[in-house]
Structure 1
Amino acid sequence: MPLPPDSASPSPDSAPVFRVQVAVHTPVHSGVGGLLTYTHTTALPPGTLVRVPLGNRELLGVVWDSPADAEPVPNAQLKPVRSVLDGLPPLDARWRRLVAFAAQYYQRSLGEIALTGLPPALKDMTAEQLARRLAPKSKKLSKKAQAALDAQAVADAAAPAPALPPTIALSAEQQGVCAQMDQHPGPFLLYGATGSGKTEVYMQRVQQALLAATDTGFPTQALVMVPEINLTPQLLERFTARFAPQFGPQAVVSMHSGMTNPQRLKSWLAAHTGQARVLLGTRMAVFASLPGLQVIVVDEEHDPSYKQQEGARYSARDLAVWRARSQGAQVILGSATPSLESWHASEPADSGGPGRYLRLHMPSRIGAAELPRVRLVDMRQQPRKAVFSPPLIAAITERVQRGEQALVLLNRRGFAPVLFCADCNWKSDCPHCSAHQVFHKGDRTLRCHHCGFTQRVPHACPECGNPDILPLGKGTEQLEEELERLLRNVQRPDGNPARVGRIDADTTRLKGALEQQLDQVHSGEIDVLVGTQMVAKGHDFRRITLVAAVQPDGALFSSDFRAPERLFCLLMQAAGRAGRDGSYVAAQDSRPEMWVQTQDPEHMVFQALRQHDYPRFAQRQLREREDAGMPPFAFQALVRADARTQEAAQDFLRAASDAARQGELPHLDDVFLYPPIPMAMQRVADVERAQMLIEATDRRALQRFLHAWQPWLHWVRGQPQHKSLVRWLVDVDPQSL
């Protein structure tokens, strides 16, 4: 029905005006988290991208389904849609269902999640700019060149479609799991040893999905997710080599935060329009628009990187499972060390488990490759203050002299975690965080790895003037330097001296640096590689036959109940880098090894690692968690508060807890609210941080309580006594406490 004229409406003799519900990016703590109503001269279909005014800004928004209980808004308060990005097909209903579920489950605003799933470059584009971006680029050709192109087009049309490259012959275990995937809808937990050929199983399932017929008129698509950026290049290369000959050079695209905004926009548009058949990406890719999605692969599903730690704190792994179920697609979670949540979910019902996932097992490596033998070095029996035990150095020396490679793992970058003055006990603390500044010897700086504050290394102690300030602890820089010293007289088979390299966040800051360094490892230019966890998983190093973990014990004393699980997974993944090429190991007449230097070799983590016995480790950990009432046998959420003082942050959390009790919220009796405490990293960038844990044995009860609590949290935030609060947020299913 036409609207009467007002300041935001057309004149009486103009076309009818329609109300439009639009999702825009408004943080949940702003109090404006729902759909906003605008007007337009046409009834825009849901999923249409539009630009709308909000205050003094113009934002990108997504036209949404109007809620059934929407109340009329006075016409004078409605503003018109500024422009419509009509060059793009609307985002489909399945994508909008995913966004709506994520917003509700993770307690965020609908628009925040919706705009998180769109490329940044699109958010600032006008309709005209997008039209130019989508317009086919053409250049004027000579008559001769045009005639040649026309002739080639005729020849291409007459030629048969190229066949897919021949696939690798599958092992009996690979054939078995593929057969089970044909007979079962999933979800699947593919529990395969490192080097067992999980990637080839992924490619087989993707190939089958891409060749399947569809009645939607849209080409079938696949989403393949990896936990970290550094794993995308080699996987992208393999998928492109497999599928580009059949589906075209643009059939496989990637999406991750290391790409430029134009690159991410190009990949997103290719996926949204169906030009891209396979999208390979990190956690952000779970929100990509893939109208023909048929299969989702979550590689290294145990990795905590799948949980977003800023803004909307979603779990991409869990959303992938939900999205697959919602869209009728298959989802495969793959890992040699599954998360305990996924392992528990795959326990068969006849064994007392929930049986939500189908567990598929591939225990053997491809070919003649064998899992590395694990050696535990008791550092209590080694020379005091030794970084490397003599037996380990002897083993590395032997490998280098035979032309093999070694990997040394220490999950701490820099030269030393802290500088220390023995005279006055001064330490290189960060002035803005409750953390030490890490000593980086390469550029003689002290850096905080939390806020980024950097300063030059002082020539003497700032407190007492003592010139003899010492580094405490070890970092990858120090390990690299020590290995260069210890191996300076060791020669490779060609007579050249041994070469030591390092890969961590410091050496890979520049664009292309990671790919260049990985190429040096693959080509054999580096004999001993020192690295953090970024090289301990997913990489297929064919000549590495020895892996050594230095100082892994710190994780055993963490207050986080997930610390043993993460350490075990890291060490198992690192061990999996050794001896992956069975034919190479056999030709060298060698056996792959994993060395672990520890002060506590009897610890159950190391004993299970020694036997490569993940089921034993998981069984014990799950039993302990069940006895303690911890996930996956309970469900958690954190309310986190940042303020200028720790007292103000905790006061807000206490007031929020009191409001929940006074408001008699639903399911209050089914949840337990712990008292607020400082976070483990209490101060970051001069902001004090506190948290309050909420726990329940029923997921639905926790969700309903959190949903009812949201208005109270906004109300408490608006009270005068909490003006010094910087921000607050709810973190559902937190991965660190």
Structure 2
Amino acid sequence: MPQTPHPAPRVLGIAIPSPLRRLFDYRPCGEAPSGGWQPGIRVRVPFGRRQLVGVVIECRNDSELALKDLKPIDACLDATPLPADWLWLCRFTARYYQHPLGDTLHQAMPVLLRQGRPLTARTRERWRLTAVGQAADAAELARAPRQAALLAMLHQHPHGLGTQAILAQSFTREQLRALVDKGLLSRLEEPATAHPRDSTGARLAEPAIPLNREQSVALAALHEGLDRYHPCLLEGVTGSGKTEVYLQLIEAVVGQGRQALVLVPEIGLTPQTLARFRQRFRVPVVALHSGLTDHERFDAWEAAASGRAPIVIGTRSAIFTPLARPGVIIVDEEHDGSFKQQDGLRYHARDLAVARAHHHAIPLLLGSATPSLESLSRARSGDWRHLTLTQRASRHAPARLELVDLRGRPRQGGLIPPVIETIRETLAAGHQVLVFINRRGFAPTLACHACGWLAECDHCDARMTLHRQPPLLACHHCDRRRVLPEACPKCASIDLRPLGSGTERTEETLAGLFPKVPVHRIDRDSTRRRDAFEQVLAELRRGEPCLLVGTQMLAKGHHLPHVTLVVVVNADAGLYASDFRALEQSAQLLIQVAGRAGRADHPGRVLVQTLHGDDPHLQTLAEQGYAALADQLLEERRAAGLPPFRFLALLRLESPREDAVSALGHQVAEALRQWLASRRLEVGCLGPVPAPMERRQNRYHAQLMLTSERRSRLHEAGAWLTAWLEASPEARRVRWSLDIDPQTLS
């Protein structure tokens, strides 16, 4: 029997991109969508003096305001709702991270959808020979040589060619139309992300690589959970073939007609991962990252939402990509801090992947050589399955860290003579060397040798970095820049000297020491030009001896088969930092960068320069590896009541006025403690205290920390706190944000 249509609602509760944590009521107006009003329909509405695109969340018949006082919507933008899985994820994200729903929806959709564009696939032209054209001989067009050449070219492409590819060969639209008029060619309209189908129906463009025993065991365990929520942590040493496990798992998922979402931490890894997946599969593989144009991002989003793209690869924001038939979510380098958004909507893509996989009842695979302590804890407790890969694809074991004492030794560009000699020997043997220094610029700062003056930023509690290309002082926190002083502004001495070493100084030193060897520098400054990073990587793959100087951009997932020596200029940055995660993150970075050495035919060495070679944590990492250090850190975290054994939320306050930040911090802390006492909630409240860098971008920063053993109690306190701040007149003069599960205290 036909279903009775639902009566049209009189009120639409709409989420609008604004900082307010509420819905706004409007009257429906004009023709309703074909399926009736539903959550997920986009509408254009008047909001103050602007017109905004909002999303219908509730359909009701009543409102706190009189119906006659409600504004009508201006236009309905969708015939059908946006994908239900996407809407669920956005609502979960807004609730979990205590963020306005309207702004969450706005951030989670492509720019063109925010502007009101319909969610329909963009199309492109494809020209394909008809049956008559396939049987025709180009010689029959001898009197039209360009048409004959076009026909001959299309004979070589049975799936046809797009317009741009044809025009790029100096053919014209008139020649295309002439062949159409003769019945030799047909014009097709297809989605912009369409993929030519293989006549055999094969999903693989190349055969899978045979797996070793550990990989086979891991893949078999993953196959057991293809039909349910099955979270697994794949802990594999660098070069152990984790990606091959991903590929074969995805092959099984795609074979079931479902989709795979793969998250990678950095945009620099996306092209290499994308190339490898497209080389393996004959199905559409789309990418989502910040380097795409708005139209490219829209096309990929729509292809995933429609189900035409079985494989989606992207960075952090790709977690919000809708999937028509979700089959698996894979998070590569799951420990990486890049998965956490540090401003605005402060979500963690890895944690949202866990929630999304649970919601869809699909497997989740988290991969890393150095798993986060949160993931290790859940794997070791049995909440997640723990799979390990200890064998490298090459015949050489992972290189161990060799600690090199810096104390009392002269340095050139941050390097001591024995290390320079080892670099010389490696180059003479025909190999490549990676010198890792996690500081951009020429030197960390400029100093006066006469009076001790240091070049400090006027807007931040930080020193300005000395750059040589171009010559200037720059603050890496607020991007403020100054010309180099001719003399000390404090004592007028001209004896100004660089203090310490950055990538530029190390590059200059190595170029002087090894003038016949190419030196490539990889950091944020040297790779601003499009494809600059890829060009350097392509040159490295040629295998000629060279020196590579770089920051952590090089530490993540890049296969550098000809690198046999890695030198870490200074390993001490995270040993004694104030942030409790600093040691964990430093250890992960050291192991990741060490994994670039000895990945092919020759064994690798890793030299780690340090002023604290007797530090017990550093010795454990060097002698016993990351797993042993992780055990120690987990016990220390348990004793200190820190994550993963307690949950944290951080209230961040900032203002140009120091007194405003201090006053609001003490006021909110007192109110929160009184409320917690009245509710007898087991939630700790620490602070307020100045942030580790109190003044940044000419604004003062303070923070208040909430801790609890139960996540639900922490969220209850967070919800009360945001409501109190929204109602407080003083809070309107201070910028504030609540960071759930903060990854850094800075």
> TM over 0.5, yes or no?
yes
Matching residue of 1:4: none
Query: Tell me, which stretches of 5 or more residues in structure 2 are unaligned?
Result: 1-6, 127-162, 164-172, 190-195
Matching residue of 2:219: 178
RMSD: 2.4
In the TM superposition, what is the alpha-carbon distance from 1:291 to its structure 2 partner?
Answer: 2.2
Is 1:459 equivalent to 2:486 in the alignment? yes
Whether the 8 Å contact between 1:21 and 1:38 is mirrored in structure 2 is no
Q: What TM-score, normalized by structure 1, do the two folds share?
A: 0.87
What is the CA deviation profile of residues 573-608 of structure 1, one whole-angstrom value per residue up to 9, with x for unaligned ones? 011101111xx22xxxxx211110111222233323
The 1:633/1:539 distance shift into structure 2, 3 A limit, reads same
Is 1:121 equivalent to 2:121 in the alignment? no
What is the CA deviation profile of residues 163-186 of structure 1, one whole-angstrom value per residue up to 9, with x for unaligned ones? 512111111111100111122442
Of 241, 246, 249, 2:279 maps to 241
Matching residue of 2:352: 319
Of 48, 54, 62, 2:47 maps to 54
How many residues end up aligned between the 2 structures? 677
The 1:710/1:387 distance shift into structure 2, 3 A limit, reads closer
Whether the 8 Å contact between 2:13 and 2:23 is mirrored in structure 1 is no
Matching residue of 1:732: 740
In the TM superposition, what is the alpha-carbon distance from 1:383 to its structure 2 partner?
Answer: 3.3
Distance 1:386 1:142 in 2: 65
In the TM superposition, what is the alpha-carbon distance from 1:62 to its structure 2 partner?
Answer: 2.0
Whether the 8 Å contact between 2:263 and 2:313 is mirrored in structure 1 is yes
Taking the TM superposition and a 5 Å limit, the aligned residue runs for 1:363-374 are 363-374=390-401
Distance 2:187 2:84 in 1: 42
The 1:186/1:457 distance shift into structure 2, 3 A limit, reads same
Matching residue of 1:8: none
Of 4, 15, 38, 1:45 maps to 38
Q: Identity, % of aligned pairs?
A: 39
Whether the 8 Å contact between 2:472 and 2:483 is mirrored in structure 1 is yes
In the TM superposition, what is the alpha-carbon distance from 1:330 to its structure 2 partner?
Answer: 1.2
Matching residue of 1:95: 86
In the TM superposition, what is the alpha-carbon distance from 1:18 to its structure 2 partner?
Answer: 4.2
Of 77, 90, 97, 1:85 maps to 77
- 35-44 or 272-281, which deviates more: 35-44
Distance 2:498 2:294 in 1: 40
Matching residue of 1:546: 565
What is the CA deviation profile of residues 643-701 of structure 1, one whole-angstrom value per residue up to 9, with x for unaligned ones? 12222112112111222244457755311111211111212221111111111121111
Q: What TM-score, normalized by structure 2, do the two folds share?
A: 0.86
Of 523, 528, 533, 1:514 maps to 533
Matching residue of 1:616: 628
In the TM superposition, what is the alpha-carbon distance from 1:205 to its structure 2 partner?
Answer: 1.2
Is 1:337 equivalent to 2:370 in the alignment? yes
Name the amino acid aligned to 1:19.
Answer: V
Is 1:110 equivalent to 2:101 in the alignment? yes
Name the amino acid aligned to 1:529.
Answer: L
What is the CA deviation profile of residues 284-308 of structure 1, one whole-angstrom value per residue up to 9, with x for unaligned ones? 0111122222111100000111110
Matching residue of 2:452: 425
Whether the 8 Å contact between 2:567 and 2:608 is mirrored in structure 1 is yes
In the TM superposition, what is the alpha-carbon distance from 1:422 to its structure 2 partner?
Answer: 2.7
Distance 1:95 1:366 in 2: 38
Name the amino acid aligned to 2:249.
Answer: R
Name the amino acid aligned to 1:704.
Answer: E
Distance 1:603 1:270 in 2: 52
Distance 2:112 2:536 in 1: 30
What is the CA deviation profile of residues 537-560 of structure 1, one whole-angstrom value per residue up to 9, with x for unaligned ones? 210111111111111112112011
Distance 2:350 2:444 in 1: 32
Distance 1:683 1:66 in 2: 46
Whether the 8 Å contact between 1:646 and 1:678 is mirrored in structure 2 is no
In the TM superposition, what is the alpha-carbon distance from 1:158 to its structure 2 partner?
Answer: 11
- 355-364 or 607-616, which deviates more: 607-616
Whether the 8 Å contact between 1:300 and 1:336 is mirrored in structure 2 is yes
Name the amino acid aligned to 2:11.
Answer: R
The 1:559/1:151 distance shift into structure 2, 3 A limit, reads closer
Matching residue of 2:177: 142
Query: Secondary structure, in 3 states, of the residue corresponding to 1:297?
Result: strand
Of 405, 411, 423, 1:378 maps to 405
Is 1:24 equivalent to 2:51 in the alignment? no
Of 68, 86, 95, 1:76 maps to 68
Distance 1:228 1:260 in 2: 17
Name the amino acid aligned to 1:319.
Answer: L
Whether the 8 Å contact between 2:455 and 2:464 is mirrored in structure 1 is yes
Distance 1:574 1:282 in 2: 20
- 669-678 or 619-628, which deviates more: 669-678
Query: Secondary structure, in 3 states, of the residue corresponding to 1:142?
Result: helix
The 1:158/1:415 distance shift into structure 2, 3 A limit, reads closer
What is the CA deviation profile of residues 475-509 of structure 1, one whole-angstrom value per residue up to 9, with x for unaligned ones? 11111111112223xxxxxxxx2111100000011
Distance 2:188 2:303 in 1: 25
In the TM superposition, what is the alpha-carbon distance from 1:151 to its structure 2 partner?
Answer: 11
Whether the 8 Å contact between 1:419 and 1:470 is mirrored in structure 2 is yes
Is 1:191 equivalent to 2:230 in the alignment? no
Query: Secondary structure, in 3 states, of the residue corresponding to 2:597?
Result: coil
Whether the 8 Å contact between 2:8 and 2:37 is mirrored in structure 1 is no
Distance 1:197 1:367 in 2: 10
Whether the 8 Å contact between 1:667 and 1:705 is mirrored in structure 2 is no
Query: Secondary structure, in 3 states, of the residue corresponding to 1:187?
Result: strand
Whether the 8 Å contact between 1:412 and 1:475 is mirrored in structure 2 is yes
Name the amino acid aligned to 2:671.
Answer: A
Of 638, 654, 669, 2:666 maps to 654
Name the amino acid aligned to 2:352.
Answer: L
Name the amino acid aligned to 1:395.
Answer: T
Query: Secondary structure, in 3 states, of the residue corresponding to 1:52?
Result: strand
Is 1:670 equivalent to 2:682 in the alignment? yes
Name the amino acid aligned to 1:207.
Answer: E
Of 714, 721, 729, 1:709 maps to 721
Name the amino acid aligned to 2:466.
Answer: F
Query: Secondary structure, in 3 states, of the residue corresponding to 2:85?
Result: helix
Whether the 8 Å contact between 1:426 and 1:461 is mirrored in structure 2 is yes
Distance 1:255 1:690 in 2: 35
The 1:504/1:384 distance shift into structure 2, 3 A limit, reads closer
Query: Secondary structure, in 3 states, of the residue corresponding to 2:28?
Result: strand
The 1:329/1:526 distance shift into structure 2, 3 A limit, reads farther
Whether the 8 Å contact between 2:25 and 2:70 is mirrored in structure 1 is no
Distance 1:444 1:664 in 2: 54
In the TM superposition, what is the alpha-carbon distance from 1:19 to its structure 2 partner?
Answer: 2.7
Is 1:474 equivalent to 2:465 in the alignment? no
Matching residue of 1:229: 267
Matching residue of 2:710: 698
Matching residue of 2:289: 256
Matching residue of 2:341: 308
In the TM superposition, what is the alpha-carbon distance from 1:86 to its structure 2 partner?
Answer: 2.7
Matching residue of 1:533: 552
Matching residue of 1:7: none
Name the amino acid aligned to 2:40.
Answer: G
The 1:487/1:36 distance shift into structure 2, 3 A limit, reads farther
What is the CA deviation profile of residues 601-642 of structure 1, one whole-angstrom value per residue up to 9, with x for unaligned ones? 222333233245222111110111111111111111111111
Matching residue of 2:467: 440
